[in-house]
Structure 1
């Protein structure tokens, strides 16, 4: 049973990573900002190989930060 839960978490993280990469590509921001966001996503992806649960938590925070960025409540300097 634990294996099924791990597979579901893996699938959820993979889907969220795809969404996050698409959102970063769609942002109308300077290239330096896009590169910083992409580096964060790559770090989360690498972390998922070693600690999937921790990577899922980091990805949730990243997505929330993207939401704030989209709404204008976060600035480029905060990245």
Structure 2
């Protein structure tokens, strides 16, 4: 039973990561900002290999930040 829940969480996180990458690609932001956001998603992806639940929480915060327009500024 627990294994099924883990698989469902894995599938949900994988789908959310795919959607988040698509959202980042669609943003009208400087390339440096897009790269910073992509790096954050790659870190979340790597974290999912070790702690799926924590990665899901981080991804939820990432999406909330995008929803609220909280994106990093480009380095100058």
Indicate whether the TM-score tops 0.5: yes
- State the structure with bigger RCO (CA 8 A, min sep 6), 1 or 2: 2
Q: Which protein has the bigger helix share?
A: 1
Provide Cα deviations, 1:21-41, integer angstroms capped at 9, x if missing partner: 000000000001000000000
Question: TM-score, normalised to structure 1's length?
Answer: 0.89
Q: Provide the aligned length of Structure 1 versus Structure 2.
A: 73
Question: TM-score, normalised to structure 2's length?
Answer: 0.92
Structure 1: stretches of 5+ with no match in the other structure: none
What root-mean-square deviation, in Å, do the aligned CA atoms of Structure 1 and Structure 2 show?
0.9
Question: How far is 1:75 from its partner?
Answer: 5.3
Provide Cα deviations, 1:41-63, integer angstroms capped at 9, x if missing partner: 00000000000000000000000
**What are the equivalent positions in structure 2 for 1:21-36 lying under 5 Å apart?**
21-36=21-36
Structure 2: stretches of 5+ with no match in the other structure: none
